[in-house]
Amino acid sequence: MFGTRSGREPATARSPLHLRLVLAGFGAIVLMAAAIIAFTRESASVGLLVLGTLSVVFAVIAAIDFSVVMAELKAAQRSHGHRPHHG
């Protein structure tokens, strides 16, 4: 599935999973920060509380996506016989 080439892409083509990993991590961090700010405001209006709640929901979704992508990347490394580089 991931390792087969159709013949049209360049030999150096890379999977978009790394970009998805970065975006999911960034989104989770930014959205959690937005939720913390929304919930810690002293003059919290209903709109701000709704924004905070939505930020938490989307941050959780981003964190789940981050976990799924990490699992996919590890599975792809195992199936291709790559060892993780340490150091």
pLDDT of 85 > 60? The answer is no
pLDDT computed for residue 84 by the predictor: 54
pLDDT of 76 > 60? The answer is yes
Structure tokens at 65: 């996506």
Domain ranges (residues) in the chain: 17-79
pLDDT digits (tens, 9 = 90+) for 16-65: 899 999 999 999 999 999 999 999 988 878 999 999 999 999 999 999 99
Q: Is 43 left (phi over 0), alpha (psi -120 to 50) or beta?
A: beta
